[in-house]
Amino acid sequence: MQFDYDIIIVGGGATGLGTAVEAVTRGYKTLLLEGYDHGKGNTSKSTKLIHGGLRYLANMDFALVQEGLEERYYFLNNAPHLAKKQTYLIPLRNYKEKIKYTIGTRLYDYLGGKLSIGKSVNLNTQKTLEEAKDFQADKLIGSIVYSDGQFDDTRMLMSLYKTFIAHGGTALNYHKVTKIDSIDNSVHQVSGENVLENKSFNYSAKYIINATGTFNDYTEELTDGKNHQNVNAAQGTHLVFDKKFFDTKHAILIPETIDGRVLFILPWHDKIVVGTTDVKVANPSLEPQAQQDEIDFIIDTFNQYAKQSITTRDVLSVFCGQRPLVKDKAKKNTAKISRKHVVYANSQNNLINIVGGKWTIYRRMGEDTINYVESYFKLEKTNSVTRELKLVDAMSNPQDYLQERYGQNYKEILAIQQELNNYDKIHDNLPYYQAEVIYQVRNEQAKTVEDVLLRRTREMFLDAKAALESAELVANLMAKEMNKPENWTTQQIEHIRGLAKLYMVQSIL
């Protein structure tokens, strides 16, 4: 039988696009179908760490940490404009913490081995306050500084998308899969709806991969109608503030929160991001809403460490995602469930599922999935090349904002500025240019104002009020470029008005 593709991947998050790049660079004709927009799920709502996971050492999960540290190295190497080394400072308040975290960070250095990106050091109180002056000084006994990475999750996803396309892949957003059918007891046929154009689609492939994250069980159900129970969703919320509340070059890891976890205070795009929480939820959501007690918990914990207190009035944005965790029925506390990933086949119909893991190891998850496909279907083995594969726009030593976001493609934005004679920003409070919107429509499958404000730029994540104020301008720019009627613009603005409510703590609508 003739198939349209070798492989169809369902789900356009980090896992789906990571697997897509792996597949296409190993010679498979590959189609990726995303039901909403690329990155709409948890991929856009991560804490933005590239890490082995210092906190997982407490679970004695050494192999998991080592895997993350190895992938951290490839991540930083292959997307040097988007991913950078970041120092993390752990404030210490007692000798128990000092001993625990000194041993932990030294072990972390050791597990990094040859791919380590810097050794941890202990600082006394005075030096700690020179490095991070915004701590409450009287409670500190010193700190530890260690190294990990940091990135912009959806800009990285766009880089993966463009890399996939450059190697001959096909990716379609707003293509929601509603049915996966078998031929001779094996899944081959995928159908669904192009939700923006109200058109149905139907594609076939030799192998089908489910990379739908927290929706894994629902997608598997499309193949056999059974109620699968392989994934848990655990919600994590972040708050964004002006950096004046904690101005430091280091990211801060608060080691002991009252729920026994850690909390990060991260410098990110000239703001600070504080999070996250870990709350088990019954049903997954693409756009979950932060709970009031999560918000209170983040603010209270921050205020226990920072000199200057924050309140809900200071929140510029709140964003919330849900981790796809492989089910471990024995453990009720999701913070303690391993972040490991699992690839498995549905033995009745051969759907391949990849689930769990974390952003940092997207490449490894892709490699493991394609290795699994080759061994499960007894195909000739191909070699993975992604460890050394620079992403298509990779650029070392970016010099400015545009190069940091677009790597080598920054020139295309300069060309659009010239073409349109438009050098203006979208909003005075944020760094994004109007020409970027046009670039994103032309090159990054941006189809709605939401795509631009949330995942191509990060306006909604950085300042929800500014994003709302940008909606009309962005809608008009897109409507002109895409030849859309006036009612399209009105609908887009209305949609953003509704969405912004989720990203604002104090409703100012």
Burial of 354 (C-beta count, 10 Å sphere; 0-12/13-18/19+): buried
In this structure, the chain runs to a length of 509
28 is an interface residue for ligand FAD by CB under 6 A: no
Task: Report the candidate in 195, 200, 95 with the shortest Cα–Cα distance to residue 144.
Answer: 95
Minimum distance of ligand FAD from residue 236's CB (angstroms): 3
Minimum distance of ligand FAD from residue 124's CB (angstroms): 29
**Of 21-29, 90-98, 320-328, 421-429, which part binds ligand FAD (CB under 6 A)?**
320-328
104 is an interface residue for ligand FAD by CB under 6 A: no
Burial 57-69 (b: 16+ CB within 10 A, else e): beeebeebbbbbb
- Looking at 30, 78, 212, 248, which residue binds ligand FAD (CB under 6 A)? 212
Minimum distance of ligand FAD from residue 251's CB (angstroms): 11
Site string for ligand FAD, 440-479 (x = CB under 6 A): ----------------------------------------
150 is an interface residue for ligand FAD by CB under 6 A: no
Q: What is the C-alpha to C-alpha distance for residues 453 and 450, in angstroms, rounded to an integer?
A: 5
- Looking at 5, 25, 48, 350, which residue binds ligand FAD (CB under 6 A)? 48
219 is an interface residue for ligand FAD by CB under 6 A: yes
DSSP, collapsed to helix, strand or coil, labels residue 467 as: helix
366 is an interface residue for ligand FAD by CB under 6 A: no
Give residue for tokens 């796809």. 324
Task: Measure the CA angle with vertex 400, ends 398 and 402; round to 5°.
Answer: 90
321 is an interface residue for ligand FAD by CB under 6 A: yes
Nearer to ligand FAD by Cβ, of 199 and 381: the residue is 199
190 is an interface residue for ligand FAD by CB under 6 A: no
- Looking at 6, 22, 34, 393, which residue binds ligand FAD (CB under 6 A)? 34
CB contact set of 382 (below 8 Å; sequence gap of 6+): 26, 27, 370, 374
The count of other CB atoms within 10 Å of the CB of residue 189 is 17
40 is an interface residue for ligand FAD by CB under 6 A: yes
Minimum distance of ligand FAD from residue 483's CB (angstroms): 27
φ/ψ of 247, rounded to 5, equals -95, 105
- Looking at 155, 188, 323, 455, which residue binds ligand FAD (CB under 6 A)? 323
Nearer to ligand FAD by Cβ, of 13 and 431: the residue is 13
255 is an interface residue for ligand FAD by CB under 6 A: no
- Looking at 5, 23, 30, 41, which residue binds ligand FAD (CB under 6 A)? 41
35 is an interface residue for ligand FAD by CB under 6 A: yes
What are the tokens at 96? 């128990």
Burial of 329 (C-beta count, 10 Å sphere; 0-12/13-18/19+): exposed
Minimum distance of ligand FAD from residue 53's CB (angstroms): 8
**Of 254-262, 318-326, 412-420, 456-464, which part binds ligand FAD (CB under 6 A)?**
318-326
- Looking at 25, 30, 42, 417, which residue binds ligand FAD (CB under 6 A)? 42
360 is an interface residue for ligand FAD by CB under 6 A: yes
Q: What is the C-alpha to C-alpha distance for residues 322 and 65, in angstroms, rounded to an integer?
A: 21
223 is an interface residue for ligand FAD by CB under 6 A: no
Asked if 31 and 7 count as a contact pair (C-beta separation under 8 A), the reply is: yes
33 is an interface residue for ligand FAD by CB under 6 A: yes
151 is an interface residue for ligand FAD by CB under 6 A: no
Residue type, 401: Y
Minimum distance of ligand FAD from residue 14's CB (angstroms): 4
Q: CA quadruple 365, 371, 374, 375: dihedral positive or negative?
A: negative
Distance of CA 382 to the CA centre of its chain: 28
Q: What is the C-alpha to C-alpha distance for residues 230 and 217, in angstroms, rounded to an integer?
A: 6
Nearer to ligand FAD by Cβ, of 43 and 409: the residue is 43
- What is the torsion angle, in degrees rounded to the nearest 10, for the CA atoms of residue 135, residue 139, residue 144 and residue 149? -40
Minimum distance of ligand FAD from residue 340's CB (angstroms): 11
Nearer to ligand FAD by Cβ, of 115 and 414: the residue is 115
Nearer to ligand FAD by Cβ, of 192 and 431: the residue is 192
358 is an interface residue for ligand FAD by CB under 6 A: yes
- What is the torsion angle, in degrees rounded to the nearest 10, for the CA atoms of residue 154, residue 155, residue 159 and residue 165? 60
How many residues lie near ligand FAD (CB under 6 A)? 39
3-state DSSP of 123-148: ECHHHHHHHCCCECHHHCCEEEEEEE
Distance of CA 194 to the CA centre of its chain: 24
Minimum distance of ligand FAD from residue 181's CB (angstroms): 14
215 is an interface residue for ligand FAD by CB under 6 A: yes
Q: CA quadruple 45, 51, 55, 56: dihedral positive or negative?
A: positive
Binding residues for ligand FAD restricted to 4-23, rule: CB under 6 A = 10-16
Minimum distance of ligand FAD from residue 391's CB (angstroms): 17
Q: What is the C-alpha to C-alpha distance for residues 153 and 22, in angstroms, rounded to an integer?
A: 18
Binding site for ligand FAD (CB under 6 A): 10-16, 33-36, 40-43, 45-49, 176-177, 211-215, 219, 236, 276, 286, 321-324, 357-360
